[in-house]
A = this chain, B = another copy of it.
Amino acid sequence: MEISTKRHSLSHIMAQAVKSIYPEVKMAIWPDTDTGFYYDFDFGEIEIKEENLKEIEKKMKNIIKQNQIFEYVPKSVDEGIKFLKNMWEIYKVEMAEDLKAKWETSLGFYKNISQKWEEMFIDMCAGPHIEKMSQLDENAFKLEKIAWAYWRWDSSKKMLTRIYGLAFDTREELENHVKMMEEAKKRDHRILGKKLKLFTISDLVWAWLPLFQPAWMIIRKELENYLWELHKNHGYDRVCTPHLAKEDLYVTSWHAGHYLEDMFSVYGWTSKEKFHLKPMNCPHHMQIFADNQFSYRDMPVRYFEPATVYRDEKTGQLSGLTRVRSITQDDWHLFCRIWQIKDEVRLITDIIKKFYATMWMLDNYWVSLSVRDEEDKSKYLGSDEVWQKAEWALEEAAIANELPYKRIPWEAAFYGPKLDFMFKDCLGREWQLATIQCDFNLPERFNLSFTNEEWNPERPVVIHRAISGSLERFMWIIIEHFAGLFPTWLSPRQVIIVPVADKFDDYAKELNQKLKALDIRASVDYSTDSLNKKVRNAETSKYNYVLIVWEQEIADNTVSVRNVKTKEQTTEKVEDFINKLSDEIKNRVL
């Protein structure tokens, strides 16, 4: 039994419960979701509140206990429409009439058979459903929340009441999910981002274009330095390209034909050319390559540009960093020969594994080898031969690198197959983060070549690859993953020194300078708050270490160290603490 079938069936049962309590309610749409289901209702004049959900939930459990049966009742289109009109189900009538207009001849209905007449329920639906309600665990679902949505997403139409439910196979799964959601709420990057002063949303700038505060930039620079350290001895070079280009570039790259609606257009007052903000770096990098006369000795050529690109994506719910229009890519492009793909992918895979081991996300990862839909090749650019070569090279590399991969058809990009890396955060949420994508198309379109051993021009392959993916997205994942308490090497607030009274301020200051001279991000809490308050403040500000300083410490040249993550409290020689901390940072300990 598919969980989606159970979830969808529960939306019927919810409607059944709602109609038995509020017979005048009109029903609209009722899909299942990734975590449960919802139903949009027109409650008319009745105002439904969170407390009413309890009653509806109780009624649903009661219905389930009766072990009602879902009985399929087909009707002809006209008979069905007449039936719905009789019940005054105006939204269902509209849907049924749409189906009729699409030449449907019959409509499916499902009836829930109850002993009580007021609970008899019938709903137009194509199914599938469970057969009988005993297939559900009445403790494995829960009504979640109320929201509002326009009928048919049209703001000129009526606003309907949407009731969300959570549903799983077992009670345990439901409880885990609820716990995870509560934990996620505490870790919400929007709240932590504000509290820890990581980023700023300015109405004057635009709600979708975050500005990054100093604390964010410390994390970003550490990540960028680490990524660069992993790459720099493997022949990667930095390049830099402007944030806009003439439309000509995107005509050549094919984006103007297929990506235009996602690009911002740029116009000058004096300059009359038509420009676009770059939605990705690859076309620019093709031009960087093209201006060199490379020989086979120079291959592979590898470029890195951690640039911000801009995409005018369709409006979604405003939600911190999740749908921003400024996207900082860790954008690396390789140009290599076909037979070099395997070695390059191996090297990248090593780097990906190292990076995510450091980030504590390497458990339970898997890799999607995203290949072409063989049934409908028209969606893809490039010849059969080119696709077979690329898919084979990636799969061979995946096997050679012992990647836990699955071959997923239809998931390829239009320009080539790819390896997408799926990682789980500490809440068990899965994220597609790293990617390695073959591209036989761009080198063709930009007519790129290098000189081979026979002095002939040879076409390179392009590999697009990202390790962290969009930095904005990666940041919100790790803010929530670490609940704001970043590993010390990444942390913008590594150490805070708390003098117990102001007569220890000088010693605290001296200690602070000693730490700062070693590039440790330290500060002193000179406020007049109590010791307890200062420690509490340090913890909510997500400092890694709190150093408490008073008489005894100064006499012994020691510090009382509170490790915020482990809650351990120790007394250590100053030099020992500094050495341990420096090692922790240098080795990027979690």
Contacts and interface: CB of A to CB of B under 8 A. Distances in A.
User: What is the interface of chain A mostly: helix, strand, loop, or mixed?
Assistant: mixed
B243 A206 contact: no
A266 B276 CA distance: 8
Contact of A233 (B210, B262, B284, B516): B516
A326 interface: yes
Nearest to A232: B519
A307 to B, nearest CB: 10
Contacts of A557: none
A252 B292 CA distance: 45
Contacts of A326: 242-243
Nearest to A201: B291
B270 A308 contact: no
A87 interface: no
A244 interface: yes
Interface residues of A, number: 65
A270 B314 contact: yes
Interface stretch (A165-173, A212-220, A394-402, A427-435): A212-220
Contacts of A292: 197, 213
A241 interface: yes
A219 to B, nearest CB: 11
A513 B221 CA distance: 28
A211 B287 contact: yes
Interface string A223-241: 0000000000100011111
A214 B288 CA distance: 9
A270 B266 contact: no
A284 B213 contact: no
Nearest to A276: B266
A202 B216 CA distance: 34
Given A205-B246, A205-B284, A264-B267, A221 B200 contact: no
A291 B217 contact: no
Contacts of A212: 239-241
A263 B269 contact: yes
20 contacts: A197-B292, A200-B287, A202-B287, A204-B248, A206-B242, A208-B271, A209-B242, A209-B245, A211-B288, A213-B292, A217-B240, A218-B238, A220-B240, A243-B277, A263-B269, A264-B267, A265-B268, A266-B267, A270-B312, A271-B315
Interface of A: 197, 200, 202-206, 208-214, 216-218, 220-221, 233, 237-246, 248-249, 252, 260-271, 273, 275, 277, 283-284, 287-288, 290-292, 303, 308, 310, 312-315, 325-326, 516
- What are the 8 closest A-B residue pairs judged by CB atoms, nearest first? A214-B237, A268-B312, A217-B238, A200-B291, A209-B242, A212-B240, A202-B287, A204-B249
